[in-house]
Each structure stands twice: as structure tokens, then as C-alpha cells.
Structure 1
Amino acid sequence: MGKPKFYDFCVHAVPDGENTAEQLAALARHFGYSGIALANHSDKLPQSQPELSSTNEFEIFRGIELVEENPSKLHGLIGKFRKSVDVLIVHGGSENINRAALENPQVDILNHPAFEKSSGLNQVLAKAAAENNVAIGLTLRPFLHSRGPRRVRLLSDLRANLDLARKYDVPLVLSSDAMSCFDLRSPRDALALAEVCGLEEDEALEAMTTVPERIISKNRPGPGYIREGVEVLEEGNYF
């Protein structure tokens, strides 16, 4: 078995974050990642798409984190951006938006689902996430920038969502949610922080390796792919 490939699937570059895509990519590569997804919030996109320089050792994926409070408009944004990005994230934070995201199989990840006194998930939404293969995003930046009661609340929400994810086999994606180079953490540090937050070692590892790889495989199908739901039969196998 080869060395696992680590990915950070939520990194914000200028004008959303403080650093350029090139600076973030260089540091992530130095830390040992195999790739990152540049996922600016949809209300803070660059005026022109930067040229993404990828290699066999490190790849920069196009992503977006959709911000919208109206479920109908959110579905419109999903349709607008789905074909142009490798990683489509929804920024949650209300029951209606969380539901709209988790019931839409075109969404890859739901970040920040918690709102008011809710962790953001319940049994119905967890089932929808599992059925539609929408991952729940576990982001490290909020923990790094919080103290006292807020951190306690974040940990409580995360552990409640973890329980539901385990019960219904919902995929998880662990990312930095970095707004600057100072928010990036090496894979080893990210795994250690995740375990402090309540993830098992194998859960944290899968959330940074195999689940991101599955998302890219889904959104970048191989040459034999026609479209979802269509099967290519060998010659003579017509019945």
C-alpha cells in the first residue's frame, strides 16, 4: 500500500482570503499535500480566474463555496457553477439551506451547518446526506480562532454531527478553511487536531485522503464514462 495522498479541499485566496493562490499552493505543497481546492465564497470571487499550475505531484482544484440564504436561489447557483468547478461546497447555517444542500446530489460538501442552538444536522438530514453522497465538512479554522464558550459550543456541535455521520455512514471531509497561509496546517497537525476534536485516527485520515479522491473521481470521470446511469455493455451483451 502506497503513501496516502492528503488534500485540503477548502482554501480561500484573494479577494476572499489574505494570500494569493500561488502563495497558498506553495505552502501546502511544502507541508506535503498532494492538492488543494481553491474555494472562495461565491460573493468574493476573483474578477478573473487565476491560471492554476498543477503537476503530477501537486494539483490545484477549482472549487467554490456557495453563499445563499434562499434555497431556490441556491439551487440556481449550484446549476450555474457545477460544471465549471471540481469541488462544489455549500456554506450552511440554516435548516432550509442545509436541507437544500444535502438533498442535492450535485453538491460535494456542506460546510458550517450549525446555527442558533442546533448542530445543523438531524436524523432526516443525515440520511439525506448519505443517500445523496454529500459530505459534511469539518473545518479547523473556527477552532483555531475561538476560545472559551464558543470553542466549547463548536466541539459540542461537531461531536453531535459526528455521531450522526457514524450512524448513517455520511462521508466527512476535513479541511483547514484557511483564510491565509497562517491558517494552513500540515497533514500531521491537522490529523492531531481532528483527533482532539473527537475523530478517530482512521476517520480523520479518510476525511483528508480517500473522500476527497472520491469527489474528484466523481467529478472528473474517466474516458469510458458517458453519463451517470448509463452502462456500457460489451459487444453481444444486449440482454
Structure 2
Amino acid sequence: MGNTRFYDFNVHTVPDGKDTVKDVMAFAKHLGFGGFAITNHSNVEESYPEGSMQDGIDVYKAVEIVVSNPSKLNGLVGKYRKNVDVVAVHGGNEEINRAAVETPAVDILAHPQTSKNGGINHVLAKSASHNNVAIEFNLDSIIKGRGGKRVHTLSFFSKNLELARKYNVPTILTSNAFNCFDLRAPEEMIALSKLFGMGREEAITSLSDIPESIITKNRNSGIVQEGVEIVNEEIVSSDGE
């Protein structure tokens, strides 16, 4: 795949996940990633590690906003937008899904599927396209799902993919990893995406061009933070602060 850089934009580290940023960085690099986003949940105390760059792998500070009332979403998006590189919203509720795709400051709708359907319909797909909100396909739902649950996930993903194609909605493949061993190599993620009908080029774009476009958009709007680096296993800002 040449010089393509791959990114996983749904990774959880301590205290939301089990492993440290440094451990995940090392393992993600080993798997062939060019970077990843730490999308710890907003309802986890002290859950926002800083981003970093080391040995050719970029780590972006992000958040996965968890909210039960869609009326509170705009306030939370405003709270985090200027402090993180990537804003994702934990969906799975039809009202939350709608609020997320109607909010231009949101980058990713994560876990859109509900217990009854894929969580995306024609109206929401149009809004996601208009506001450039990427729809996530979290592959852990396939890997960890069993029996009927996996069948339903594949069906939901297939329907969401059809809508994304029809309305030109950006799509993103993620691992939703909570430890190093939840991560999957880019080629494995591309192979898994075939199970719900995603073509190879679509999958590559969802792991490379789309994540890069999110960072480029936010950088151009002045959102993306200054880089930081790990020094003596402590994360400090690149200007020494």
C-alpha cells in the first residue's frame, strides 16, 4: 500500500482503557499505523491524555462524548472542541445520533447502531454529509459479537454503508480498542470490512484519507493543538511547558 498512513480514531487508554499511551503507541506502530486518536469517554474522570508524536507515529488528543440528553450535546461539544483534536459522539440512541450529525463541530458519530437498527436513516445521512460528520464502523462489534448479534451488526453496517455511499457521507473504520491487543493491523481491518460489503479502496480511504481530512480541517480552523513529545516517560508540551 505504498506510503499510505493509516489511523485508528477510536482507541481508549488509561484510565478509560487498560494500557498507557506509551504502550499503545509502541503496539500501534508495530502494527503499521501512522497514528491514532485517544477517544476516552467524557464521563470517565481524568480521561483525556495529551496527544504526542514519537518515532513517526502521531497520537491525537480526542474525546468520545457520552450524553443521555441530546439538548446537552451542544454544550459538551463546545466545552471540548477547542481542547481536543477530534470530537466523537457516542451514539446508539436515535435522538443522540440526530443531534450529532446535525452539529458541524462533531467529527465522528461513533457506535450509531441501536438495538433495532443501524441508527442511520436517509435524513440523518443527508445531515451527516452536509455537516461532514463521519460515520464510524467499529470493527470490535464484529470481532466480539457472537451468533445473532454479529449477524445484526453486519446487517446494520451494510445498510449504513449503502446510505453513506448514496449521500456521500465520510466513513471511518475503527477498533474501539480498550487495550493493545484489541488493536487490529490495517490489513486485518480492511479484510474485516469486506464482511459488510466495503470495497478495498473504500476501506483504505476510511483508514487514511478520512482521518487525515479530519485533522486537516481542524488544523485549518485552528483547533489542533501544538504537538507534544514523551521525555523520560512523561508527556510534556513541545515548547517545554
Fold equivalence (TM over 0.5)? yes
Structure 1 or 2: larger strand share?
2
Greater C-alpha Rg: 1
Question: For 1:50-77, what per-residue CA distance to the aligned partner results, in whole angstroms no more than 9, with x for missing partners?
Answer: 4543137211100100000111111110
Contact map agreement 1:14 1:46 (CA 8 A) in 2: no
Contact map agreement 1:93 1:114 (CA 8 A) in 2: yes
Change (3 A) 1:53 1:103: closer
Q: State how far apart, in whole Å, the 2-side matches of 1:160 and 1:140 are.
A: 15
Matches within 5 A, 1:131-210: 131-210=130-209
Report the equivalent of 1:12: 12
Q: Give 4+ residue runs of structure 1 displaced > 6 Å after superposition.
A: none
Q: State how far apart, in whole Å, the 1-side matches of 2:159 and 2:183 are.
A: 25
Matches within 5 A, 1:90-169: 90-169=89-168
Contact map agreement 2:50 2:61 (CA 8 A) in 1: no
Contact map agreement 2:35 2:57 (CA 8 A) in 1: yes
SS of alignment partner, residue 23 of structure 2: helix
SS of alignment partner, residue 61 of structure 1: strand
Q: State how far apart, in whole Å, the 2-side matches of 1:50 and 1:139 are.
A: 22
Give ranges in structure 2 of 5+ residues lacking alignment: 223-241
CA shift at 1:14, angstroms? Answer: 1.3
Count of matched residue positions in the alignment of Structure 1 and Structure 2: 222
User: Is 1:38–2:69 an aligned residue pair?
Assistant: no
Contact map agreement 2:62 2:85 (CA 8 A) in 1: yes
TM-score (norm 1): 0.89
Question: For 1:146-195, what per-residue CA distance to the aligned partner results, in whole angstroms no more than 9, with x for missing partners?
Answer: 11000001001000101100100100011111011111011111111112
Change (3 A) 1:115 1:50: closer
TM-score (norm 2): 0.88
Matches within 5 A, 1:46-65: 46=46, 49-55=48-54, 57-65=56-64
89-98 vs 114-123, greater mean Cα deviation: 114-123
147-156 vs 19-28, greater mean Cα deviation: 19-28
Q: State how far apart, in whole Å, the 2-side matches of 1:69 and 1:222 are.
A: 29
Q: State how far apart, in whole Å, the 2-side matches of 1:31 and 1:204 are.
A: 17
SS of alignment partner, residue 173 of structure 1: strand
Letter in 2 for 1:117: K
- CA-based RMSD: 1.7
Letter in 2 for 1:209: S
Change (3 A) 1:71 1:185: same
Q: State how far apart, in whole Å, the 1-side matches of 2:51 and 2:168 are.
A: 34
Letter in 1 for 2:175: S
